[in-house]
Amino acid sequence: MKLWTGRFGKEAAQVAGDFNSSIAVDRRMFREDIAGSLAHAEMLARQGILSEADGEAIREGLRGILADLESGALEIDPQAEDVHTFVESELTRRVGDAGKRLHTGRSRNDQVATDLRLYLRNQCEEICGLLRGFIEILHAQGEAHPGASMPGYTHLQRAQPVLFAGHMLAYEEMFSRDIGRIRDAAKRLNVCPLGSGALAGTGYPIDRAFTARRLGFDGYTASTLDGVSDRDFCMELAAALSIVMVHLSRLGEELILWCSWEFRFIELDDAYTTGSSIMPQKKNPDLAELIRGKSGRVFGDLTALLTLMKGLPLAYNKDMQEDKEAIFDAFDTVRACLEAASPMIGTMKVLPENMRAAAAGGFINATDCADYLVGKGLPFRDAYRAVGELVATCIECGFTLETLPLKHYREASGLFDEDIYAFVALEACVARRQK
């Protein structure tokens, strides 16, 4: 049953009905749709717009529909135009004319805007929970290897020694900021558009504050025009989720590098890798690669939402039906990536000996060596030049700064003494920078 019949003299063409339908996408919001209708029905009865008998019949019918959907006793009709139509039609089938009165004082425009905010509010909590768990996994890996030194990189060139735990901490910080961004966006979306009607409100004496409180909103939208046409919260959340994916992609890229034979800093568990169809020696980091690749998908969702909204006049336009597919996909993709990344990182084996060997061979203690000379009174630029000459000598003769004979040091500067070896030891270099 269509909710908008009466004006039309013929049924919509099959292709038009199929094209117009959103049930395949918005069916996941049935809980939120029923919650919004329960609050709306209660408000209508309190305000005397519905009789107490009709209000109770509607609420009882809605609770029954919810229970049957959750138990599987009732399935959503794929032929329905949308989830709102399905719920109202099923309600009317169960409780008769009272069900036809539920839509008094509201439009599908404010109804869907309310459902979407309710649904995304719950999604924000779920994603933040996954991010908190992921941060704990990163922290546990760092804590399990408290003294492991590794090369820190700039320009993908070995730069200075850092702790593996410090590297994990950098990602902990990134994902902590992501939680903050999502929570900020969730706070801004937490206002109720119900009561905006199609665009201009309603002539019924409704109580918008009541329904907002019943649904856990902080308040209700001041502008009815904006209430039905605002999708800033979708764009903002898609932007926040895109940044999550940037961080996951960067981490995925590092894991891909680190588990290669060229690095060998980590080894991924067999359960989270794949093989090759023709090369039996291969152990491929497919999950990390897919996470890196799926970042583009979420960026595309953000672009789709921005493009969707950029040219729309006030208030509601059918274009906005496309909002849900994009924002739902962004949440689904981030959730899937976090659920894959968490056990992959939680089970990976860290190889600290290989990390330290790479750090020692990359002259990443050269800045500390120069600082040693500065501490003896040599200007930094002179110290920089002297250590550069020492690095060239090491490369030519096959030494590191930790193994270079003292005579070579003294040829570069008479300020060098035996204590240089303790000063340029990687562990000492890292320890000096721990605050």
Annotated active-site residue in 21, 40, 155, 176: 155
Tally of residues, the chain: 435
Q: Which two tokens stand for residue 410?
A: 């003294």
Q: Indicate if 342 belongs to the active site.
A: no
> 54-63, 277-286, 293-302: which range is least confident on average?
277-286
Q: Indicate if 167 belongs to the active site.
A: no
Residue 223 and residue 97 share a domain: no
**Residue 4 pLDDT:** 45
Task: Give the pLDDT confidence of 210-226 residue by residue, as tens digits.
Answer: 999 999 999 999 999 99
Distance of CA 107 to the CA centre of its chain: 32
Over residues 88-113, the mean pLDDT reads 97
Q: Domain limits at 130?
A: 109-203+216-356
* Residue at a domain's end among 50, 70, 104: 104
pLDDT at residue 247 is higher than 70: yes
Residue 249 and residue 159 share a domain: yes
Closest CA to 260 of 233, 283, 293, 290: 283
Domain presence at residue 7: no
Q: State how many domains the chain has.
A: 3
Q: Which CATH number fits the domain that encloses residue 75?
A: 1.10.275.10
Residue 406 and residue 376 share a domain: yes
Residue 325 and residue 242 share a domain: yes
Residue 289 and residue 140 share a domain: yes
Annotated active-site residue in 276, 342, 408, 413: 276
Domain presence at residue 132: yes
Q: What is the mean pLDDT of the chain?
A: 94
Angle CA(258)–CA(260)–CA(261) in degrees, nearest 5?
120
**Residue 431 pLDDT:** 87
Please check whether residue 162 is in contact with residue 254, taking contact to mean a CB–CB distance below 8 angstroms. no
Please check whether residue 295 is in contact with residue 249, taking contact to mean a CB–CB distance below 8 angstroms. yes
What is this structure's pTM?
0.91
Residue 330 and residue 231 share a domain: yes
Task: Give the pLDDT confidence of 398-408 residue by residue, as tens digits.
Answer: 999 999 999 99
